[in-house]
Chain A
Amino acid sequence: MSKAIVLYLHVHQPYRVRHYTIFDAGTDHEYFTAPYDDRTSNERIVHKVAEKSYIPTNKRLLELLKDHPEFKLSLSITGTVLEQLEKWAPEALKSFQELTATGRVEIVAETYHHSLAFFYSREEFETQVRMHREKVEELFGQTPTVFRNTELAYNNDLAYWADQAGYKGVLAEGWDKVLGWRSPNFVYRPTHTENIKLLMKNYKLSDDIAFRFGDQSWEGWPLTADKFAHWLNETPDATNFNLFMDYETFGEHQWHETGIFDFLKHLPDQWLKKEGNSFMTVSEACDSIEPKDEVDTPYTVTWADTERDLSAWLGNSMQSSAITALYELQGPILASGDWQLIEDWRRLQTSDHFYYMCTKYFNDGDIHAYFSPYENPYDAFIAFMNAYHDVVFRLSTKGARV
């Protein structure tokens, strides 16, 4: 039986809001510009991540692609990170372009601003998907055919939308509650759809690499490429192993010292040793593998936390108040015709802002804290709301009723 590894990496950076006070609101509109040394400095973070992760990892990925004609992968790159790379790390952008130039790196469709617009405004959501497609066409010369929603937030409605919009496939978390007794290692068809296929993340295998790789107390440690290939070969009934993870797994979440790059380097050799094994991009998997069954997802699943829902972004009332207030402005914002204002409003839609306000693990000092440039969720909320107030101010000075 032939089996494929479907490796998909997610690349994203938000425009973080600086320490923006109510005294700044109405005075300066530079929410996204912090002093270079500040924790919220987007320029500094992009410099750091380009140097520490994007450039060295792309170099290794390019070598892999050159050494192994069968090696393939898919990337999702948000519009907000692409813009920031253009401005502050053109070399890193070029290294991504070199990857796609091999013809074996596919870009996945998503919203330009890494937003949760699907759940608040279908019109705005479609605009951002279009903006992203145009950006990808401009920078990479390809048109995405498989869709992923921000945070892999997925339900039947999204599948229906993506099917109607003509996508070949859509990505989702292979969460047990959705799959039931079924395995994520097949291609599925969402219920109520006609053509689209569903690729569901094998979170166990993905997390072995993304989260557990460097953990010396983990029973699987040390994870070598041949051990991993062995696990996959031993899995009796499977067509595709969907390994979905953050791009920053390589070099940022798992440091170089863990041996993560050696793992990556040897994976193609070890995997391709066995006949019938291959690598596929997400669209190839959709094209070549027949759906095994229908999957019904009436409620929204995401790839975050043990809950696999939107609670990390919308679970507390600060988060829901902030996002609701923001989307309430859509009418006057779009009517303003002020492109800078519209763009700032869109940048505030990026899901990371709401993630920083998450309180559910605040006391544990866990992964949420690690990724936040703020001292606590309340500071994140206040900075965001002050930026929101300034957006209202700008609307008001343009004569909008607010």
Chain B
Amino acid sequence: MKILMLGWELPPHNSGGLGVACYHLCKALAKRDIDIEFILPYHAPFEEDFMTVTAAHPQGAKVVLANASAYDSYKYVFDDGHEEWIDIVGQQAIYEHAVAKMVDSREFDVIHAHDWLTFRAGVRAKMKRNVPLILHVHSVERDRAGGADGNPVVREIEETSFLMADRIVAVSQLTKDAIIRDYGIPADKIEVVHNSIDHDAFLALDGNNAYRYLTEMKAQGYRVITNVGRLTVQKGLTNFIKAAQQVVMREPKTIFLIVGSGEQYFELIELAADLGIAKNVIFTGFQRGKNWRDSFAIADLFCMPSVSEPFGIAPLESIGFGTPTLISKQSGVKEVLTNSLKVDFWDINEMANQITAVVQNDALRDELQANAHRELERMSWDTTADKLHGIYRQHTEGVPA
């Protein structure tokens, strides 16, 4: 079976979870006699051979260079030598036209497109070649806008594409509900297929934890609560810092570690200082590699207080690195993770209550982690790939859903 996979990012050149999810999904699918050609909007080296990765770029463009973040402007270098920086909406239009050209010379059985940036390209490809279109929804516009309506242009692209699709895959029931609610799509057109976790990522690293200061403080009886992720409104960190203040009032020997960068960076630093807990909140900026892993490993509890999290892979990573979790009830991952503390993102008192409980009880921490880890061991991208494979077959073999 041949799949035309339309995606916006792949590791290592990705800005968030979307690229990672696409990568593991494709890797697991490729074990099942499925040929994948993955079309990216930019040139990036891809060294593995389980699928073909191709760059879609407009006629006359020699090379397309992505910035550090996949959601910035890209630089297009044209054959005649001139260069242009093109914004995100412009890029998705260019991508659509480039993909529309590419599909003329290719054979494939299913088009599988990931998130709004590739949806119009998917619809065009379906219209030209009359091949089933599956839209994979990792987030909708309301998620990315932190609960607000968001960009109407993006919502329009999402809505028309949802209507045109043969099938929609949502990464969680939460996301499926959002598609029904925000776009009026019938429930039976939408399939929930949860993301999973790559166990190879948890191989032990050598050496001491990179946070020597925190290691020393823990030996002094301090406890460490961490958050790893982008510092954006969607992630609910304002409430997290407010909860932190309540925790520190009761348990002064608590340190909050905030790992990541984003547009709320300055604001959160000031908030922590305003609330009088500057000493207890450490901002590390963006980290990768060992520092990133050790940010989970050093902690007694990982918190994901997101306002809206269609799935949210970070808590699974945390459990893999040995640290139990507190997650918001507004996250998709809560549907697959039983052994986690769970709070509403807006319930600051309850968040503080639960964090304090972990700070005060190592037994609670250890029990949560042991049970969560057993859950984690049962998760696999193979399960995700099996479900997707089933959906492909329904649309290629004429078996009704």
Contact A378 B276 (CB under 8 A): no
**In whole angstroms, what is the CA distance A310 to B218 when docked?**
36
- On chain B, the residues within 8 Å of A390 by CB distance are 213
Contact partner, A393, options B210, B213, B265, B269, Cβ 8 Å:
B213
Known: A317-B273, A376-B266. A385 touches B216 (CB 8 A): no
B213 and A316 form a contact (CB under 8 A): no
Q: How far is the CA of A373 from the CA of B399 in the complex (A)?
A: 67
Bound: A389/B265 CA distance, A = 20
Return chain B residues, CB-CB under 8 Å to A325.
278-279
Are B265 and A378 in contact (CB-based, < 8 A)? yes
Residues A317 and B279 in contact in the complex (CB < 8 Å), given A23-B211, A396-B216, A396-B217: no
Q: Is B67 interfacial (CB 8 A cutoff)?
A: no
- A376: B residues at CB distance < 8 A: 266
Q: Report chain B residues within 8 Å CB of A27.
A: 212
Contacts of A388 in B (CB 8 A): 279
B350 to chain A, nearest CB (A): 26
0/1 interface trace, chain A 326-354, chain B, CB 8 Å (1 if under):
00000000000000000000000000000
Q: A22-B211, A318-B278, A382-B283 are in contact. Are A397 and B216 (CB under 8 A)?
A: yes
A85 within 8 A of B: no
Interface string of A381-402 (1 = CB under 8 A from B): 1100110111011001100011
- With an 8 A cutoff between CB atoms, is B353 at the interface? no
Whole-angstrom distance between the Cβ of A388 and the nearest chain B Cβ = 8
Is A127 interfacial (CB-CB < 8 Å)?
Answer: no
Residues of A within 8 A of B276 (CB): 317, 321
A297 interfacial contact with B, CB 8 Å:
no
Question: How many angstroms from the CA of A336 to the CA of B269 in the assembled complex?
Answer: 31
Flag if B213 contacts A389 (CB, 8 Å). Answer: yes
CB–CB A318/B270 < 8 A: yes
**Which residues, 328 to 368 on B, are CB-close (under 8 Å) to A?**
none
Assembly CA distance A322 to B279 (angstroms): 8
Q: How far is the CB of B254 from chain A (nearest CB, A)?
A: 14
Q: Report the separation of the CA atoms of residues A19 and B148 in the bound assembly, to the nearest whole angstrom.
A: 37
Judge if A97 is at the interface, Cβ distance under 8 Å.
no
- What is the total number of residues of chain B having a CB less than 8 Å from a CB of chain A? 23
Residues of A within 8 A of B279 (CB): 321, 325, 385, 388
Cβ of B282 under 8 Å from chain A = yes
CA distance A161 to B380 in the complex (A): 72
Q: How far is the CA of A397 from the CA of B220 in the complex (A)?
A: 10
CB distance from B272 to the nearest CB of A (A): 8
Q: How far is the CA of A318 from the CA of B278 in the complex (A)?
A: 7
Q: Is A291 an interface residue (CB 8 A)?
A: no
B215 / chain A contacts, CB cutoff of 8 Å: 26
Interface residue ranges of A18-67 to B (CB < 8 Å): 21-23, 25-27
B273 and A316: CB pair below 8 A? yes
Residues of A within 8 A of B284 (CB): 21-23
The contact of A322 among B216, B278, B282, by CB within 8 Å, is B278
Among B220, B273, B278, B282, contact of A402 (Cβ-Cβ < 8 Å): B220
Residues of B within 8 A of A378 (CB): 265-266, 269
| Closest Cβ neighbor of B269 among chain A residues | A378
A396 to chain B, nearest CB (A): 5
Q: Does B274 contact A (CB under 8 A)?
A: yes
Known pairs A385-B278, A396-B216, A397-B216; A23 contacts B273 (CB<8 A): no
* Interface membership of B291, Cβ < 8 A: yes
Task: Indicate if the CB atoms of A26 and B216 lie closer than 8 Å.
Answer: yes
Whether A382 contacts B220 by the Cβ 8 Å rule is no
Convert A307-322 into 0s and 1s, putting 1 for each residue whose CB lies closer than 8 angstroms to a CB of B. 0000000001110111
- Residue of B at shortest CB range from A325? B279
Q: A396 to chain B: which residues have CB within 8 Å?
A: 216-217, 220
Closest to B275 in A: A317
Given the contacts A317-B273, A378-B266, A396-B220, A26 and B278 also touching, CB distance less than 8 Å: no
Contacting pair B273 A393 (CB below 8 A): no
Which residues from 192 to 212 on chain A have a C-beta closer than 8 Å to any C-beta of chain B? none
Give the shortest distance, in Å, between A366 (CB) and chain B (any CB).
Answer: 18
Q: Which residues of A contact B216 (CB under 8 A)?
A: 26, 393, 396-397
Interface mask (B212-249 → A, CB under 8 Å = 1, otherwise 0): 11111100100000000000000000000000000000
Find residues 273-311 in chain A having any chain B CB closer than 8 Å to their own CB.
Answer: none
With the chains together, A27 CA to B285 CA distance in Å? 18
A17 to chain B, nearest CB (A): 15
Contacting residues, chain A, for B214 (C-beta < 8 A): 22
Question: Which of chain A's residues have a CB closer than 8 A to the CB of B274?
Answer: 317
Complex Cα distance, B216 from A389, in Å, reads 11
Q: What A residues does B212 contact at CB under 8 A?
A: 23, 25-27, 393
CB distance from A311 to the nearest CB of B (A): 15
By a CB distance below 8 angstroms, the chain B residues around A25 are 212-213
Give complex CA distance A82, B303 in Å.
49
In the bound complex, residues from chain B placing their C-beta under 8 Å from that of A316 are 270, 273
Q: Please, how many angstroms separate the alpha-carbon atoms of A385 and B214 in the complex?
A: 14
Alpha-carbon distance A134/B282, docked complex (angstroms): 39
Q: Write the chain A residue with the least CB distance to B294.
A: A23
On chain B, the residues within 8 Å of A320 by CB distance are 273
Bound form: Cα–Cα A23–B209 in Å: 9
CB-based contact B220/A318 at 8 Å: no
B269 touches A382 (CB 8 A): yes
A318/B269 contact (C-beta < 8 A), A382-B283, A396-B217 known: yes
In the assembled complex, the Cα of A325 lies from the Cα of B215 at a distance in Å of 20
List 30 contacting pairs A-B, 8 Å CB cutoff, sorted by A.
A21-B284, A21-B285, A22-B213, A22-B214, A22-B282, A22-B284, A23-B210, A23-B291, A25-B212, A25-B213, A26-B212, A316-B270, A317-B273, A317-B274, A317-B276, A317-B278, A318-B270, A320-B273, A321-B273, A321-B276, A321-B279, A322-B278, A325-B279, A378-B266, A386-B282, A389-B213, A393-B213, A396-B216, A396-B220, A402-B220
7 closest residue pairs by CB, A with B = A26-B212, A321-B278, A25-B213, A317-B273, A26-B213, A318-B273, A317-B274
By a beta-carbon cutoff of 8 Å, the part of chain A in contact with chain B is 21-23, 25-27, 316-318, 320-322, 325, 359, 376, 378, 381-382, 385-386, 388-390, 392-393, 396-397, 401-402
New A-B pairs, 7, CB < 8 Å, besides A21-B284, A378-B266 = A22-B213, A25-B213, A317-B276, A389-B282, A396-B217, A397-B216, A401-B220
